[in-house]
Amino acid sequence: MRKIIFLYGPPAVGKLTIAKVLASKIDYRLLHNHLLVNPIAEVFPFENPANRLLTREFRLRIIEEAIKSNINLINTFGIAGNNPFEHIEDIIKTVNTHNGEICLVHLTANKETLLNRVEDNFRKEHGKSLSKEMLKELFKENHDIFNKYQGIEHLSLNTSESAPDVSAETIINYYNLA
């Protein structure tokens, strides 16, 4: 059974950092959020409704084809927009429909940690251009940004309190991925 590890949480929580460490330890393919978001934003700016629609549709199709092609996949998803839990439900449904296994991982951190990380060079190298001011606005506008999806039981990690390699090991142990 193919596994989809789906890391989600607010911007700058460490999704990509943990995903890269995890991928190196378990040899899964990595599809991080900005591999989808950035090219679509070149044509459809973030404020255009087509941006979110296309990003979500492409993510669902890639996950579906990964399962059909016997590819284990790590995917990251930022909780920064409208109806994030509806999209997580669509991810779960897609994985289950195609007889895959979903491994949800909720990542969180305190606001101060996120604000300290958001303008880091590592993020800029991956096309992430969110500023501290924009992140503060997201905190005000998006009430779900720190929330955990409640539809199924799954792992939640506070990245303010653990290093990426420790988080990756916790994910491996929780989902028996070794």
- Arithmetic mean of pLDDT, 107-115: 94
How are the residues of the chain apportioned to helix, strand and coil, as percentages rounded to the nearest 5? 50, 15, 35
Query: Based on the number of CB atoms within 10 Å of its own CB, is 13 exposed (0-12), middle (13-18) or buried (19 or more)?
Result: buried
Tell me how long the chain is: 178
Provide the whole-model pTM.
0.92
pLDDT in tens, 67-94: 999 999 999 998 876 788 999 999 999 9
pLDDT in tens, 145-166: 999 999 999 999 999 999 999 9
Give the CB-side neighbour count of residue 92, counting CA atoms within 13 A: 16
Given a cut of 70, whether residue 126 has pLDDT beyond it is no
Closest CA to 118 of 166, 80, 175: 80
| Residue 77 β-bridge partners | 8
Given a cut of 70, whether residue 19 has pLDDT beyond it is yes
* H or E, element range at 157: strand 155-158
Domains defined for the chain, CATH in brackets: 3-174 (3.40.50.300)
